[in-house]
């Protein structure tokens, strides 16, 4: 028990002033994003991170020192993941007679989303480290990050991968829904949640609260489902 | 304010519980995920705890982007070897997302009845 507690505490205790760089960078990113009328490509992270990168270069601060100094933020990802249970629980309570089709769509859809990505990684001849870093890319970032740490991938690469996946998901979703004849906004939301996690969910809330609720459901359930089968699925693909 | 503090403490407690549980049981899932599942189970028992958690969880989720700033900044420090393969990586990410959505669209067409 002590070991776990000490590990957690060390993460938090490493926090120092570089944390301010993250906070200021994020506030600037949020401000620009809101002023732009919430354009997806001006996501606060896409503005904050290059600014911080430039600052680190300017003040000649090593990335590892910066990262350690942000221990509190990294640690908070744990409780933030746990917090996802709250909206998920609220949506599960209202789960109507859709239970059966929803389960099938989740189990097969979630599995397919991961397998097709792993197959493509192999087709493009990418190595195992990259495979391990991309494997949970459809999963919401806090859970995906935990999975990559466990699998031994590169967290920085995963962060980009989830971002690209989410953005790609919301850009093509409308066309895919038209081509496959998905008109029910509940199902549209669910697909967005499963394949494009939080970015897809935010987009779904723009359609309607109902669409967003189903996206929340898809995102949360797929996070759990993917975590369960991922170690096995990855094992089939690493050489 | 009281609810925010209590809620945060409950979340931290479940996170810790998840970390310990994973270690004790030797599970292959991240600790915070087990914590989330445990909390979900407790909440599904129609527990009044939900009322105490709403404020803390919505605040944490709302600003979750901030928590990703350090790790996303790490993307600028990837090795040149990984950077060189980025076109293939992007192709995998975009391609697999489109195919997965298309698959789910067809699947849902097969399993759902309209206007149910």
Question: What confidence score (pLDDT) does residue A95 get?
Answer: 73
Range A133-161 average pLDDT: 91
Q: Do B93 and A161 touch (CB under 8 A)?
A: yes
User: Is any Cβ of chain A less than 8 angstroms from the Cβ of B48?
Assistant: no
Distance between CA atoms of B65 and A26, rounded to whole angstroms?
A: 8
User: Comparing C-alpha atoms, which of A146, A140, A147 is closest to residue A162?
Assistant: A140
Burial class (CB in 10 A: 0-12, 13-18, 19+), B20: middle
Question: What confidence score (pLDDT) does residue A119 get?
Answer: 96
Query: B106 falls in which pLDDT band (50, 70, 90)?
Result: very high
pLDDT tens profile A110-124: 999 999 999 999 999
Crossing angle of the two packed helices A209-237 and A99-123, in degrees rounded to 10: 50
Number of H helices, E strands in chain A: 12, 0
Rounded to 5°, angle at Cα A145 from A144 and A150: 95
User: Is any Cβ of chain A less than 8 angstroms from the Cβ of B47?
Assistant: no
Query: A93 falls in which pLDDT band (50, 70, 90)?
Result: confident
Q: Do B104 and A134 touch (CB under 8 A)?
A: no
Query: Using an 8 Å Cβ cutoff, are A73 and A16 in contact?
Result: no
Whether the pLDDT of residue A39 is over 70: the answer is yes
Query: Using an 8 Å Cβ cutoff, are A116 and B102 in contact?
Result: no
Question: What confidence score (pLDDT) does residue A94 get?
Answer: 73
Mean pLDDT for all residues in chain A = 90
Question: What confidence score (pLDDT) does residue A42 get?
Answer: 84
Whether the pLDDT of residue B115 is over 60: the answer is no
pLDDT tens profile B9-36: 999 999 999 999 998 998 888 899 999 9
Question: What confidence score (pLDDT) does residue A190 get?
Answer: 94
- Rounded to the nearest angstrom, the minimum Cα separation between A59 and chain B is 15
Whether the pLDDT of residue A13 is over 90: the answer is no
pLDDT tens profile A122-136: 999 999 999 999 999
Q: Do B97 and A196 touch (CB under 8 A)?
A: yes
Question: What confidence score (pLDDT) does residue A1 get?
Answer: 66
Interface subset of B 84-103, CB within 8 angstroms of A:
85, 88-103
Range A194-211 average pLDDT: 88
Whether the pLDDT of residue B116 is over 60: the answer is no
Distance between CA atoms of A95 and A102, rounded to whole angstroms?
A: 10
3-state secondary structure of A39: coil
Question: What confidence score (pLDDT) does residue B53 get?
Answer: 92
As a residue count, chain A comes to: 239
Query: Using an 8 Å Cβ cutoff, are B89 and A153 in contact?
Result: no
- Rounded to the nearest angstrom, the minimum Cα separation between A239 and chain B is 18
Query: Using an 8 Å Cβ cutoff, are B101 and A200 in contact?
Result: no
User: Comparing C-alpha atoms, which of A100, A183, A101 is closest to residue B111?
Assistant: A101
Distance between CA atoms of A125 and A145, rounded to whole angstroms?
A: 24
Burial call B46-83: b when 16+ CB within 10 Å, e when fewer: eeebbebbebbbeebbeebbbbbbbbbbbbbebeeebe
User: Comparing C-alpha atoms, which of B7, B6, B31 is closest to residue B17?
Assistant: B31
Query: A96 falls in which pLDDT band (50, 70, 90)?
Result: low
In angstroms, the first-to-last Cα distance of chain A is 35
- Rounded to the nearest angstrom, the minimum Cα separation between A97 and chain B is 8
- Which residues in chain A are contacts of B104 at CB distance < 8 A? 105, 109, 112-113, 191, 194-195
Question: What confidence score (pLDDT) does residue B62 get?
Answer: 83
């Amino acid at each position: 028990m002590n070991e776990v507690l000490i590990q957690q505490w060390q993460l938090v205790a490493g926090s120092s002033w570089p944390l301010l760089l993250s906070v200021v960078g994020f506030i600037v990113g949020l401000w620009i994003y809101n002023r732009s009328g919430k354009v997806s490509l001006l996501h606060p992270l896409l503005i904050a991170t290059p600014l911080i990168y430039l600052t680190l270069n300017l003040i000649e601060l090593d990335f590892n020192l910066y990262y350690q100094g942000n221990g509190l933020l990294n640690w908070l990802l744990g409780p933030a993941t746990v917090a996802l249970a709250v909206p998920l629980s609220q949506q599960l309570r209202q789960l109507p007679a859709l239970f059966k089709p929803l389960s099938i769509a989740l189990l097969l859809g979630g599995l397919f989303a991961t397998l097709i990505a792993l197959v493509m990684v192999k087709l493009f001849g990418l190595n195992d480290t990259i495979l391990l870093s991309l494997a949970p890319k459809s999963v919401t970032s806090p859970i995906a990050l935990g999975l990559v740490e466990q699998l031994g991938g590169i967290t920085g690469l995963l962060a980009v991968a989830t971002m690209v996946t989410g953005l790609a998901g919301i850009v093509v979703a409308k066309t895919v829904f038209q081509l496959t004849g998905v008109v029910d906004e509940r199902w549209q939301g669910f697909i967005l949640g499963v394949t494009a996690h939080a970015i897809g969910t935010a987009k779904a809330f723009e359609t309607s609260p109902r669409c967003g609720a189903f996206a929340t459901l898809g995102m949360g359930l797929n996070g759990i489902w993917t975590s369960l089968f991922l170690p096995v699925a990855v094992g089939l693909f690493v050489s | 304010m009281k609810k925010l503090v209590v809620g945060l403490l409950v979340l931290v407690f479940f996170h810790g519980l998840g970390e310990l549980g994973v270690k004790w049981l030797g599970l292959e899932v991240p600790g915070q995920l087990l914590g989330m599942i445990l909390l979900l189970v407790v909440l599904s028992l129609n527990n009044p705890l939900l009322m105490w958690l709403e404020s803390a969880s919505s605040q944490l989720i709302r600003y979750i982007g901030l928590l990703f700033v350090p790790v996303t900044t790490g993307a600028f420090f990837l090795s040149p070897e990984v950077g060189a393969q980025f076109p293939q990586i992007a192709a995998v990410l975009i391609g697999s997302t489109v195919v997965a959505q298309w698959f789910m669209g067809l699947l849902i067409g097969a399993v759902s009845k309209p206007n149910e």
